[in-house]
Amino acid sequence: MIIGVKFCGGCNPGYDRKDLLNRIMKKNAGHRFEYAHEETIYDILLVICGCSRCCADYSRFSYDRIVIVSTADDVPELAPQI
C-alpha cells in the first residue's frame, strides 16, 4: 500500500507533526510512505494538520482514500497489513 503524506503549511502547529508521522509510520509498518506528489495516485493520502483548522490544500492530489489528522493523539491504523 502506498501512502502519500501531505503536511499543512505549519502556520500554527500545536504539536510536532514530524513526530506524529513517525508514530503513524511505526504503527503502520509494512506500508510504503512518501511525501505526496501531485502526479501520483495514492492508496491513501495522509494529511497531517498542525491544528484543528485543517486548512491544508490537497485538492490537486489523487487518492482512493483520505485520512486527515489534526491532533498529536490521532495515530490511526491506516490499513490492515496483508
- 82 — pLDDT class (breaks 50, 70, 90): very low
Q: Is residue 28 part of a domain?
A: yes
pLDDT digits (tens, 9 = 90+) for 30-69: 999 999 999 999 999 999 999 989 999 999 999 999 999 9
pLDDT, mean of residues 64-77:
89
For residues 13 and 33, which has the higher predicted lDDT (pLDDT)? 33
Tell me whether residue 65 is in a domain: yes
Report yes or no on 80 lying in a domain: no
Domain assignment present for 48: yes
State the total domains in the chain.
Answer: 1
HSE of 13, CA atoms in CB hemisphere, 13 A: 16
What's the pLDDT at 66? 95
**Could you tell me the pLDDT band of residue 76, with boundaries at 50, 70 and 90?**
confident
Domain that holds residue 65: 2-69
